[in-house]
């Protein structure tokens, strides 16, 4: 990979090529470490410039733009060639943290908030950056009352197409404070969230005990919030009727947006025509529309010494809870899927007596894929061209999955 280095508008050429053990292109902590070593000064990645791989978003040949936080004394400024100048030029729909000024502003905001809390941090460690979010870890102070286990995390997102995570966490925390991470500060207008560290690990392969702990607690919170519709009024509307309307709007754009065949597009038209009947059956299952996590897979459950915590609420919205109930399926073994479904349906039967959550899961499967197709298209509609490889084929893949479900109504 290579890194194009700048400092406050001056260009210092390319670092590399060099190799790192790169998984997701957005996971830049090793890139930052190597670029800092080569530049001789602290460096942070602003964004992806180019990526070439047989598996877009992973491995291959990658080029980043990085900003040196101090002048790189061992390097000399140099003129930009035309191709590089075009890559580094301002672009519409660029994320606020994906440029040097926005990156510095976000870090300064977090440092000021931590200092006001009596927790002046060490230098930020950049963990992840891409069109959806930036993630930075601030180490705890070396001494003082906050020294033990008090790292903090800054998350940046684009408010134009993401939930105000601090507000969502406050809603859930008002029902079950143990379910959510502690918020230290939030600036929803700028898409900034400062969180206390939650010890533990992301739970990509949850055991039955973890599922039996997380899922009923989250369902209980959703059920409690469903009884307070006024509290949910500020959430983005992704209820079944709205998803149907959004699917119809997307279908008009498909020839230009995806590689779906004419036959597949015809199939999607038939699916859209069938959805109203399916949605009536789904409503008859008796589950309330409520706050959805929106990406409720187990990698967003954090397990440690205390009870598991659910993180990452950028996709949160108002919708049908079966969409959250279906999300873990792609991350679980067949046996684990069955157990998760049993736990989820039992929890909803408890909180919605007389409901049929098992049938809701079955009916909602095509809608689940429609939901994610629309969400991925939302990403593509709000990001700059260099970031599109992350998501280019995702809407079509989800729409094909919806077609594969077949007709579930009747």
pLDDT per residue over 59-81, tens digit each? 889 999 999 999 999 999 999 99
Question: What is the per-residue pLDDT for 227?
Answer: 97
pLDDT per residue as tens digits for the range 273-282: 999 999 999 9
Res 196 pLDDT > 80:
yes
Q: Can you read off the two tokens belonging to residue 389? A: 């490889």
Contact by Cβ (8 Å): 240, 292: no
- Residue 256 CA to residue 239 CA, distance in Å, equals 26
The pLDDT value recorded for residue 216 is 98
> Of 68, 47, 65, which is closest to residue 156 (Cα–Cα)?
47
pLDDT band, very low/low/confident/very high, at 146 (cuts 50, 70, 90): very low
Does 257 have pLDDT greater than 90? no
Look at residue 147 in the predicted model and tell me its pLDDT: 43
Confidence of residue 89 (pLDDT cuts 50, 70, 90): very high
Residue 265: pLDDT over 60: yes
Give the whole-angstrom CA distance, residue 5 versus residue 151.
29
Q: Does residue 306 register a pLDDT over 90?
A: no
* Contact by Cβ (8 Å): 310, 293: yes
Q: Is 284 helix (H, G, I), strand (E, B) or coil?
A: helix
Report the range of poorest mean pLDDT among 92-106, 139-153, 245-259: 139-153
Give residue-wise pLDDT tens across range 373-393.
Answer: 999 999 999 999 888 889 989
* Structural domains present in the chain: 2-89 (no CATH), 98-196 (3.30.200.20), 201-405 (3.90.1200.10)
As a whole number, mean pLDDT of residues 311-334 equals 97
Q: What is the pLDDT of residue 22?
A: 73
In this predicted model, what pLDDT tens digit does every residue of 167-178 receive, in sequence order?
Answer: 999 999 999 999
Least confident span in 118-122, 178-182, 268-272: 118-122
Higher-pLDDT residue of 305, 186: 186
In this model, does residue 407 exceed pLDDT 70? no
Degrees, nearest 5: CA angle 75-24-4: 20
pLDDT tens for 361-374 read 999 999 999 999 99
Q: Does the structure show a pLDDT above 80 at 140? A: yes
SS3 366: helix
Q: Return the percentage of the chain with pLDDT > 90, whole number.
A: 88
Q: Taking phi first (over 0 means left), then psi (-120 to 50 degrees means alpha), and beta for anything else, what does residue 41 get?
A: beta
């Amino acid at each position: 990979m290579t890194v194009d280095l700048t400092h406050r508008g001056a260009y210092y050429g390319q670092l590399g090529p060099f190799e790192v053990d790169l998984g997701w292109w957005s996971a830049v902590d090793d890139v930052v470490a190597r670029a800092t070593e080569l530049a001789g000064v602290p460096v942070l990645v602003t964004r992806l410039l180019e990526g070439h791989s047989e598996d877009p978003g992973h491995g291959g040949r990658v080029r980043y733009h990085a900003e040196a936080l101090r002048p790189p004394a061992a390097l000399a400024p140099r003129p930009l060639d035309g191709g590089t100048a075009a890559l580094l030029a301002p672009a519409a729909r660029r994320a606020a943290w994906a440029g040097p000024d926005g990156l510095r502003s976000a870090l300064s905001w977090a440092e000021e908030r931590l200092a006001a809390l009596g927790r002046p941090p060490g230098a930020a460690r950049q963990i992840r950056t891409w069109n959806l979010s930036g993630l930075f870890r601030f180490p705890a102070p070396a001494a003082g009352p906050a020294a033990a286990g008090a790292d903090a995390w800054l998350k940046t997102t684009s408010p134009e197409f993401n939930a105000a995570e601090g507000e969502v966490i406050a809603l859930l925390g008002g029902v079950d404070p143990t379910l959510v991470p502690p918020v230290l500060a939030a600036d929803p207008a700028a898409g900034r969230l400062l969180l206390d560290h939650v010890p533990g690990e992301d739970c990509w392969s949850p055991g039955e005990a973890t599922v039996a702990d997380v899922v009923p607690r989250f369902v209980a919170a959703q059920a409690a919030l469903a009884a307070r519709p006024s509290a949910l009024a500020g959430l983005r509307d992704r209820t079944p009727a709205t998803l149907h309307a959004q699917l119809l709007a997307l279908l008009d754009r498909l020839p230009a947006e995806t590689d779906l065949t004419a036959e597949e597009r015809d199939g999607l038209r038939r699916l859209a025509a069938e959805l109203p009947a399916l949605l009536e059956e789904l409503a008859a299952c008796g589950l309330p529309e409520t706050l959805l996590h929106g990406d409720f897979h187990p990698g967003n459950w954090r397990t440690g010494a205390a009870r598991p915590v659910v993180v990452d609420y950028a996709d949160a919205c108002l919708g049908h809870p079966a969409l959250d109930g279906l999300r873990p399926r792609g991350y679980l073994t067949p046996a684990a899927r069955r157990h998760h479904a049993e736990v989820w349906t039992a929890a909803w039967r408890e909180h919605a007596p007389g409901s049929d959550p098992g049938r809701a899961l079955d009916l909602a499967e095509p809608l689940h894929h429609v939901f994610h197709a629309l969400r991925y298209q939302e990403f593509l509609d709000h990001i700059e061209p260099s970031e599109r490889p992350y998501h280019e084929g995702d809407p079509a893949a989800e729409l094909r999955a919806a077609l594969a479900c077949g007709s579930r109504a009747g």
